[in-house]
Amino acid sequence: MLGIQLTDVQKEQFDRYYELLIEWNRVMNLTGITEYDEVNLKHFTDSLTIVRIKSMENVSTLIDVGTGAGFPGIPIKIAFPHIKVTLLDSLNKRIKFLNQVVEELDLKDVVTLHGRAEDYAKKEEYREQFDLCASRAVANLSTLSEYCLPFVKKGGCFISYKSADSDEEIEQSKKALDILGGKIEKVDKFVLPGSDMGRAMVMVEKVKNTPRKYPRKAGVPSKEPL
């Protein structure tokens, strides 16, 4: 379907990830999707559809902004172990869950960060350091771009997972992208195989450095999108 060949070890990692997700979901809200086949399709496979728009072979560093329960960052890491992955989330209890996943799956070169994108993107060790920023976070694309593009190095890209009906939102993001140093490279629309979920993957190329004043301080990008 996506042309990704998984080893037995990788399949076991996905199964263990599923078990941990369900275990932790009993005490905290990680996902509303809990059936094994549904999680495999709507979280794991969906996370890996990124390969439709971007080859992972040339990616060495990835940051997942607003990673939640680890999507898409952890599925990408399992399938492509060579990538150094950073998982950023503002909720500490989610970070505790992710830390256990990383430990139990024995994933190397994974960093978890607790905090807000607006703060971490100002730090020199994270700003414009990544080949790829991916996000399945639910936010307007203009807002999401302000969170994500500052992490991407020039020549890298930001990929946003969107629903199929996001044409207007994509069009309206162009002004923000121009300000932030990005431009839409391509939009891939498809139906998630085996489901009726329409998806749109938006690939934004980083063509110039993001001005230092972005991202604006915490809370502003969502209240006042560029």
Alpha helix ranges (H) inside the chain: 8-25, 36-39, 46-48, 73-79, 92-104, 117-120, 141-148, 167-172, 174-180, 220-223
**What pLDDT score was predicted for residue 155?**
97
Measured from the Cβ of residue 45, the count of other Cβ atoms closer than 10 Å reads: 18
What residue spans define the domains of the chain?
8-223
What count of Cα atoms within 13 Å lies in the side-chain half-sphere of residue 121?
Answer: 31
200 neighbors 188 (Cβ within 8 angstroms)? yes
Cα angle 33, 192, 32 (rounded to 5 degrees) comes to 10
Low-confidence ranges of the chain (pLDDT < 50): none
The first and second tokens of residue 92, run together, are 């500490």
The first and second tokens of residue 40, run together, are 């495999």
**What pLDDT score was predicted for residue 113?**
98
**What pLDDT score was predicted for residue 2?**
85
**What pLDDT score was predicted for residue 223?**
94
For residue range 23-73, list pLDDT tens digits in order: 999 999 999 999 999 999 999 999 999 999 999 999 999 999 999 999 999
Q: What residues have CB less than 8 Å from 70, skipping those under 6 apart?
A: 17, 64, 87, 97, 98, 101
**What pLDDT score was predicted for residue 193?**
82
Helices 8-25 and 92-104 pack at an angle, to 10 degrees, of 150
Task: Assign a CATH topology to domain 8-223.
Answer: Rossmann fold (3.40.50)
- Single pTM value for the model: 0.96
